[in-house]
A and B are shown apart, each in its own frame.
Chain A
Amino acid sequence: MFPGERTVFNIASFGSYLVPLVIVAIIAFGLFKHENVFELFIGGARDGISAAFSILPALVALMTGVAMFKASGAVDVIVSALAPLGKTLHFPSEVVPLALMRPISGSGSLSVLEQILKTYGPDSLIGRTAAVMQGSTETTFYTIAIYFGSVGITKTRHTVPAALSAEFCGFVMSILAVRMFFG
């Protein structure tokens, strides 16, 4: 689908073009409409300060828990405990560490992904499954914690079960999709 290195790198750098282009487009359009873009920007950014501070408590709470969890070696224990269950469900056990890390830590899951790609190769079925998994799911708990934390919502009702079942669906779909497209 993307033959040749040149095309690949053009698309890979697409993201690098996008941010500056979006920024310049917004400011240019503001000037075109004769708005005082600098003053508007300062006003918006000032309101951003208080918004940003409101997420700090939730961030500290969650990241302390996640760091302790990573340091405890619990992931390795849970992975080996889940191995027989994974085998009966045909869930490739190599990607289970990623599935465990993905909802709690973005940087943690990226390093697990790197480890998997290094061990099994990016073009192996396992490597592809891991990459698709990383790309089609999100850091669920982090998102929930800061989004609700920022507005002082403590009763999240059905958010956690809905988001977690979607996360699980994402893992299963990643395995199925890679089997479908590359199997």
Chain B
Amino acid sequence: MMSWVWFGLIALSVVFGICTGRINQVSQAAISGACDAVSLFLVLLAAICLWNGLMRIADKTGITGLLQRLLLPVTKRLFPNLAPGGAAMKAISMNIAANLLGLGNAATPLGLQAMSEMKKKAGATNTATNSMATFVVINTASLQLIPTTIAAIRIKYGAAAPFDILPAMWFASAVTLCFGIAAAKSMEGRPKRRLCRSAKNLPP
């Protein structure tokens, strides 16, 4: 699926680039986009090292375990295939907490850690498990409680009360999140039933 999205993006760019006479810019963008990826990678490398290091301390001192237990009533329903108290569940809990607090820099490294823990459990496969899909869909919905970046932009353009959109935003986010989870859960069984079962029967 991602192959088609990726191809679609590039094919559309080439077609529109030729039609609008901007093929020159498109050709430059191919290289500059790759360069942007590397500079973003450097930022992420720093963030990942920082939060991985802090996560190790939090793990050892039991902070992640505590957080994991706090969120368990929700997470055990979202991820029934993952062991409560396991490394994957801990990383997922930390990721959700970081998302809620708006620590975007921390949420991605913690999310990647959760993915790698789930991958360890799934074994050598290139197919997403139900838990992975649910987790990624949750991360593609926004959980942020205080949107500081957006508020800053609204202040810049003279908003009277930059946070007056919060109730509307929370409402829209909550509905979107529930919709996303429901969509992910309802699509789980459909494509390949056998695959889901075998994912469930894997050793923990």
Contacts and interface: CB of A to CB of B under 8 A. Distances in A.
Interface of A: 1-3, 8, 11-12, 14-15, 18-19, 22-23, 26-27, 29-30, 32-33, 35, 37, 40-49, 51-53, 55-56, 59-74, 77, 104, 110, 113-114, 117-118, 121-123, 127-128, 131-141, 143-148, 150-163, 165-167, 169-170, 173-174, 176-178, 180-182
Given A151-B115, A180-B168, A52 B57 contact: no
A106 B168 CA distance: 21
Contacts of B141: 137-138, 166, 170
Contacts of B13: 65, 68-69, 71-72, 74
B167 interface: yes
A95 B38 CA distance: 30
Given A55-B41, A155-B127, A165-B183, A77 B20 contact: yes
B12 A72 contact: yes
A144 B139 CA distance: 9
Contact of A72 (B25, B53, B150, B161): B25
Contacts of B128: 148, 153, 155-157, 159
A121 B157 CA distance: 7
Contacts of A18: 101-103
Nearest to A48: B52
A167 to B, nearest CB: 7
A123 B173 contact: no
Q: Please classify the interface of chain B as helix (H, G, I), strand (E, B), loop, or mixed, using the class held by over half of its residues.
A: helix
Contact of A173 (B116, B144, B162, B175): B175
Given A56-B37, A181-B167, A68 B9 contact: yes
24 contacts: A11-B151, A14-B146, A26-B57, A29-B58, A35-B57, A51-B113, A52-B41, A52-B49, A72-B29, A77-B19, A114-B157, A131-B169, A132-B168, A135-B169, A137-B142, A151-B115, A157-B187, A158-B190, A163-B136, A170-B173, A173-B172, A173-B176, A177-B172, A178-B168
Contacts of B192: 157
Interface residues of B, number: 114
